[in-house]
Amino acid sequence: MSTVAFPQGFRLELLQRSHPRGGFDCEQDQVNDWLRTKALQHQDKRLSVTKALLDPHGEIAGFYTLATGQVDFGDLPTELAKQLPRRALPVAVLAWLGVSRVHQRQKLGDLLLAQALRDCYEAGRTFAFVAVILDCVNDRAKSFYERWDFAELPGNPYRLFLSAKSLAAMMGQL
């Protein structure tokens, strides 16, 4: 499985108890709180998987959390829903993503998103889903994701989706 090239000295690992989560600060309280207090518990319960990007000092420079979910047929835009059955449909969920304040604006967010989407794509070869969805915490996060072809779900301006077909095209597999 191919992986994104992170800067030299940085390494991506499955979140572990030994990672220094308590000091993580990406300037968004909800996102900090998720990593500091909940991500590991949810991983232990097999509800989500979190990957931490460690900097050369072993500090957490960034992370992302992936999970599975469902959306109702009626929540999808017509062009995506028209060939799908009228029921709850499987999706991959990019639940959280954050980059530490000291490492922001160095492209780590883009690299983490690229790796998260690659993970989704690889998983989708075994467990199918119709789209990747995510919820944005604010307008700044929304514009960050929109640069990557995520689009709004109808009637829900802060819930974005990327169809599985667009994901495959992005991975150069269509």
Residues that bind ligand COA (CB under 6 A): 26-28, 31, 96-99, 104-110, 136-137, 140-141, 144, 147
Taking the complex as a whole, the smallest distance from the CB of residue 33 to ligand COA amounts, in Å, to 11
Q: Is the dihedral of CA 126, 129, 130, 135 positive or negative?
A: negative
Taking the least distance from each CB to ligand COA, the nearer of 50 and 81 is 50
Sheet holding 11-14, edge to edge: 11-14, 49-54, 60-72, 88-99, 131-135, 156-163, 151-153
Shortest approach of ligand COA to residue 103 CB, angstroms?
A: 6
* Contacts of the segment 31-37: beta carbons below 8 A, 24+ positions apart: 31/96, 31/97, 31/98, 31/137, 32/98, 34/65, 34/96, 35/60, 35/63, 35/96, 35/98
Q: Beta-carbon neighbour count of residue 37 at 10 Å? A: 11
Q: In angstroms, what is the minimal distance from the CB of 134 to ligand COA? A: 7
Residue 161 amino acid letter: F
CB nearer to ligand COA: give 81 or 112: 112
Q: Kindly report the number of other CB atoms within 10 A of residue 6's CB atom.
A: 20
Query: Closest CB to ligand COA belongs to which residue?
Result: 109
CB of residue 67 to ligand COA, shortest distance in Å: 13
Shortest distance (Å) from residue 112 CB to ligand COA: 7
Q: Which is nearer to ligand COA, 71 or 113 (CB)?
A: 113
Residue closer to ligand COA (CB basis): 9 or 74? 9
Residue closer to ligand COA by CB (options 107, 125) is 107
